[in-house]
Amino acid sequence: MFKKILVANRGEIALRIIRACRELGIASVAIHSTADSDAMHVKVADESVCIGPPPSRRSYLHIPAIISAAEITSADAVHPGYGFLSENAEFAEVCRRAGLTFIGPLPEHMRLMGDKVQARTTMASHGIPVLPGTGIIKTDEEALAAVDRIGLPVILKATAGGGGRGMKIIHEKSRLRDQLHTARSEAQAGFGNPGVFIERFVDAPRHIEVQVIGDGQGRVVALGERECSIQRRHQKLVEEAPSPALTPEEREALLDRVSHAVAQVKYLSVGTLEFLFERTPDGKPHFYFMEMNPRIQVEHTVTEMVTGVDLVCEQIRIAAGLPLQVESLREKAKARGHAIEVRINAEDSKTFAPSPGAITALHMPGGPGVRIDSHIYQGYVVPPHYDSLIAKLIVHGEDRLSAIARLRRALDEFIIEGIKTNLDFHRRLAQSEDFIRARLDTRFVERMH
């Protein structure tokens, strides 16, 4: 097992990893920008190193500074969390060359899954269904021919992208050229890669994802699925497990197929396969692979709540070369009860505009079946430089309705003053008849507003 892990991240995920390290008896090193000097992950870690000024490119994305911090603190491994450098194959390779274990997938898997076109092709070759689509579009004429073949509407996606950047929905062929150029520009600016591809657009599908864990030797366990349909601009706001859309037979078939496909590529570490899901008028289910995220997810918590598996500890154990406890994990993968997570952001509940500033009063809910993953505290100043996620409220109940009742109670107890948050949005959502009846799709938030 590792002796010391450097956590190459900030916020609630950095704190989550530090807690896992402490439970495993591993020393932790926090890195931070000057804007995060008073952050909770810095206070809780065994050691901390300031690596630069607030802009991410000069701190949390600055590979030389992170490697230097690991070297001066004698860390023997690096955990990247999610976001920042978590899916950066170059960073994983630099860690390896510096004698550090990168706690995550192999660089080749990160490159494979980081390119959505390659990932689609690979998963399709192993029996995972994908939407009709293209490879990287090189010319306008190629794009026009693809639309003729696939049919409207279509969606343009950045091959190296995520978070909605570079995505453009095309309903009219006359807009294709302009939107193609815009998508390429956004992809270049956001990911340093202008490549885009075309896919058939599914209007108002559900978004369902499968949590996997593999040992790099072909042994893989699928730890159930999560429903992530409630989104705003392709950013998830609410996640739950298991999905209320699936029958037990559909769930078993999906997990078996995913396990087989991921085992074929000998995947190492935790990862998530994301799908669009729609049900035809005759009730037949259809899953379409979108992408694989080769890292721990924000919403890993709901899987932990229904399975009892500590995904971060498992991720560390696998990186240390300890064997995957396949039979034990498969037994735990049988979901117990229902879990729901809501993401609490420092933003205006109506406009979703960011709301940095000092937290003047704070009360977090508790009680049975309530979990808070957060790095904030009373007096903490939410900086304007980073993602607006400040807390995750996770609840667990014996079934979905009891989980919703617990969510309502916990949201009513949650108090954050001094900044604006989306707590009111979540309170309205928890009372929504469509939410209660699980009438969910990716346009849910549009209908709420």
- Residue positions annotated with a catalytic role: 295
**Residues contacting residue 419 through CB under 8 Å, at least 6 positions apart:** 346, 355, 356, 357, 358, 359, 382
What ranges make up the beta strands (E) of 360-423? Answer: 361-363, 370-374, 381-382, 389-397, 415-417
Whole-angstrom Cα distance, residue 148 to residue 274?
Answer: 27
Residues whose CB is less than 8 angstroms from the CB of residue 252 and which lie 6 or more positions away in sequence, other chains included: none
Q: Rounded to an integer, what distance in angstroms lies between the CA atom of residue 341 and that of residue 298?
A: 10
CB atoms within 10 A of CB 27: 19
- With tokens 């009063």, the residue in question is 361
Structure tokens at 283: 């009730």
Task: Transcribe 8-36 into DSSP letters.
Answer: ---HHHHHHHHHHHHHTT-EEEEEEEGGG
Please give the biggest Cα pair distance in the chain: 62
Buried b (16+ CB within 10 A) or exposed e, 299-315: bbbbbbbbbebbbbbbb
Amino acid (one-letter) located at 64: P
Which positions ≥6 away from 224 have C-beta within 8 Å? 210, 211, 241, 242, 251, 255, 303, 306, 307, 333, 335
The first and second tokens of residue 200, run together, are: 């058939």
